[in-house]
Amino acid sequence: MNINLHIERLILDGLPIESRQGALVKEAVEVELTRLLEQNGLSANLQTGGAFPNLQTQSVNLTAEKNPALSGEQIAQAVYGKIGNEGVKK
């Protein structure tokens, strides 16, 4: 399976990271979410398409070190928990 994922805009309002690190967080979200989708797949309910104006996920506890790569991975994992295999229930 070949997945190309691009996040055009990621709003990081209130995160404990500096604004210049936003691109690093976005890149980490794209990389981790792509990895999870390639390894585990997309929910059967979404395989024919779907859109969400917003997506409620589990809480993400970001570390005090303000590591943008780790923050991005944690955000991607929370999102995948809702859209991945077994994640979305309609």
Each residue of 15-49: pLDDT tens digit? 777 878 889 999 999 999 999 999 999 888 888 88
**CA dist., res. 77 & res. 90, Å (int):** 20
* More confident of the two residues 35 and 64: 35
- Residues in CB range of 38: below 8 A, 6 or more apart: 1, 3
Give the pLDDT of residue 80. Answer: 93
Instruction: Show me where the domains of the chain are located.
Output: 30-83
Model pLDDT, residue 87: 52
Q: How confident is the model at residue 90 (pLDDT cuts 50, 70, 90)?
A: very low
- Whether the CB-CB separation of 39 and 87 falls below 8 Å is answered with no
pTM flag (> 0.75): yes
